[in-house]
Amino acid sequence: MLLGFGVTGLYAALNLISASLLVFGGLTQAQFQQPGGPSPTPELVDFLPAINVFSVVFAVVAPFVQWLLVAGVMQLVTRFFGGTGPFSGMLAAVGVAQVPFVISGAIQLPIVGLEVALGPQNTAATVAGLLSSLLGLLALLWFIVLVVIGAAFARRVGYGESAGSCAISCAGCVGLILIVGVLFAVLIALFIGVASPNGSS
């Protein structure tokens, strides 16, 4: 379990560095402005510092939330497949399974630095961003495989039962993430609407 916490902490540290590069490099702000399009509204500009802070905090907190959430849901779902074993074992398995994200995060740091140095409109930066996204997808798939293997040992179930539990858990986690994302987008839209002159009139 201590090893799982260490892996998760290292993942969070890499996320912190990457998010800081994006924020201080101006890429976070550039995401709100389309190439050749109008500049962000004054209300959005006023709200950007809060978005930047949230981005950095979320980057640090997300690995720990993911660790606890996946481990908790897997612990619960595997019980329906006859799984037995302590929650600490599941925490250890899911924590160590985040090693692909650590490797991906370490590789992505130079890519993020390249994007910041070249600017968001540069073609090479765009290609680097696509490669970074592909690397993140591969890391996610690798993480899922390790969770299935680790949960099978931690909860003493077969790989089939573990894979089924992982599928159910992943669906639940993705749904929760989407709900949180939609709520955050709605809050931003409401804040900008209230802060704008038209919204206050």
> 3-class secondary structure for the chain?
CHHHHHHHHHHHHHHHHHHHHHHHCCHHHHCCCCCCCCCCCHHHHHHHHHHHHHHHHHHHHHHHHHHHHHHHHHHHHHHCCCCCCCHHHHHHHHHHCCHHHHHHHHHHHHHHHHHHHHCCCCHHHHHHHHHHHHHHHHHHHHHHHHHHHHHHHHHCCCHHHHHHHHHHHHHHHHHHHHHHHHHHHHHHHHHHHHHCHHHHC
pLDDT of residue 199: 46
12 has pLDDT over 70: yes
Residue 30 pLDDT grade (very low, low, confident, very high; cuts 50, 70, 90):
low
Highest average pLDDT, of 26-40, 46-60, 102-116, comes from 102-116
pLDDT in tens, 180-193: 667 766 766 666 55
pLDDT of residue 32: 55
Q: What is the pTM of this model?
A: 0.76
pLDDT in tens, 96-142: 999 999 999 899 888 887 777 776 666 776 777 788 888 888 998 99
pLDDT in tens, 70-105: 888 888 888 888 888 889 899 999 999 999 999 998
